[in-house]
Amino acid sequence: MNLAEKAVKLATDLGAEYADARAEQVQSTSMRLANERFEQAISGLDQGLGIKALYKGAWGFSSTTSLEISDIKAAVEDAFKTAKATSKAVKEKATVHEVKTAKDHVKAKVKKPLTQVGIDAKMKLLLHFSRIARDYNPKIVGANLAYEDSEGQKATVTSDGARILTDTSRLYAAISAIAKEGEKITSCRERVGKPVGFELFDEVDADKLMGSAAKRAVDLLKAKPAPSGRFTVVADPHLAGVFAHEAVGHCCEADAVIAGESILEGKLGKMVGSEMVSIYDDSTVNDGWGSQKYDDEGVPTRKRLLIEKGVLKGYINNKESAAKLDMEPNGGARVQNFSHRPIVRMSNTYITQGDYSSFEELLRDIDHGIYLKGSRGGQVDMAKGTFQFNAEEAYLIQKGKLTTPLLDVSLSGLTLETLHSIDAVGKDFKSTIGFCGKAGQTVPAGDGSPHIRIRNALVGGRA
């Protein structure tokens, strides 16, 4: 905290109109296991400071991995010099919105500190998960696992008065099980993560979770090629959550709106979807994967209403974008670590519960449709408003019942058209965890949804 305060003072003494700094010290472990062979097992300390300075409408940013005051001073000077040099050429002057600042110490809820568990124990756990998957069935020919954890502190200081010290603790583990029969190869993934300590594995049945990846991969070997065309589609909470995050949430990030890269530009207060659809981005979810009490500019975060009953209600802002759009900052500035500058980011983005009481009720009046589960990634064009997501599993729906399993199925279309085509939303809300990449930065992000039904959706299968 002292170092971050000194960095901000140095910047304002040089003439910065506004400055913010983040100083971090984090112990982390990263492991990768492929077929019971470790490709990576690293544990180490990451530390440093990043400083952002505003001068005459231009930004400068610099960072250092040293916490020596002389190196911090050099980083501050670099940031200010960049801002000063850029200010002579910048056409659109940046400003920051005034906010009510806070001084706080945010403590982590940890029972078993990650730094008190040796890397040997963590490696042993990954081997255990791998064997659960590989021993499930002879058709399982591979299991790839990933493990990430981090524990430490971050200080955020701003020239407008924020002083936030945050204890951090985060744990993530994932498995991809690979099955083979003849020439057919399938894979399924499961993951678990939470901003807690090693007690996560006492609270979650990780053995069952890792084993389910193997079971689903083997079951997929029975899948048939998928048809292509327009169908009534039911999307599970995972895929629907990915749609909410990728196709909608990114378009609600204010920097994209300002840059003219979002189809939701100029649509505040207008219908952009069916009345069945309400979407939030909520940084305050208890133990949420993307939750923060304060953003990385020291602004208190909140539950942000993006779409309410089909009407676009808001954008995700940081201090700069809020000033440009004449909106209130809502705590949407996030950063990967001290070596990056904060940008507008989502946290936990989800579709809220609807009125349909059961999954069977969603299926009931579908004569011929497709049920899509999970996600293998995809692509989105925010400016054009198009998307394509690849489902992990799929099934034909015939006369209201799930029948034939399908392989390699994608959902694609126009974002606004799809939002308007959602005619049913269930009550069975579930959330998932993941990582969101933007502008070279990766941050933890959660998403979620109940089951949703989409009429006349475009589905593609691989021949």
Give per-residue pLDDT as tens, 35-94: 899 999 999 999 999 999 999 999 999 999 999 999 999 999 999 999 999 999 998 999
pLDDT of residue 200: 96
Give per-residue pLDDT as tens, 327-349: 999 999 999 999 999 999 999 99
Give per-residue pLDDT as tens, 426-454: 999 999 999 999 999 999 999 999 999 99
Distance spanning both ends of the chain, measured CA to CA:
58
**461 confidence band (pLDDT: 50, 70, 90):** low
Average of per-residue pLDDT across 219-224: 95
Average of per-residue pLDDT across 235-243: 97
Task: Give the C-alpha separation, 198 to 191, whole Å.
Answer: 15
The label of the residue with tokens 């982590």 reads: 108
Residue 114 pLDDT > 50: yes
Task: Give the C-alpha separation, 463 to 138, whole Å.
Answer: 27
Kindly state the greatest CA–CA separation across the chain: 72
Task: Give the C-alpha separation, 206 to 125, whole Å.
Answer: 10
pLDDT of residue 128: 96
Residue 462 pLDDT > 80: no
Give per-residue pLDDT as tens, 134-179: 999 999 999 999 999 999 999 999 999 999 999 999 999 999 999 9
In three-state secondary structure terms, 77 is helix
Task: Give the C-alpha separation, 425 to 276, whole Å.
Answer: 7
pLDDT of residue 120: 96
pLDDT of residue 216: 96
The pLDDT mean for the chain works out to: 96
Phi, psi of 266 (to 5 degrees): 75, 10
Residue 103 pLDDT > 60: yes
Task: Give the C-alpha separation, 50 to 58, whole Å.
Answer: 17
Task: Give the C-alpha separation, 370 to 239, whole Å.
Answer: 13
Domains along the sequence of the chain with CATH: 2-222 (3.30.2290.10), 224-461 (no CATH)
Asked whether 243 and 380 are in contact (CB, 8 A), the reply is no
pLDDT of residue 463: 37
Asked whether 413 and 420 are in contact (CB, 8 A), the reply is no
Non-local (6+) Cβ contacts of 57 within 8 A are: 87, 90, 92, 93, 94, 95
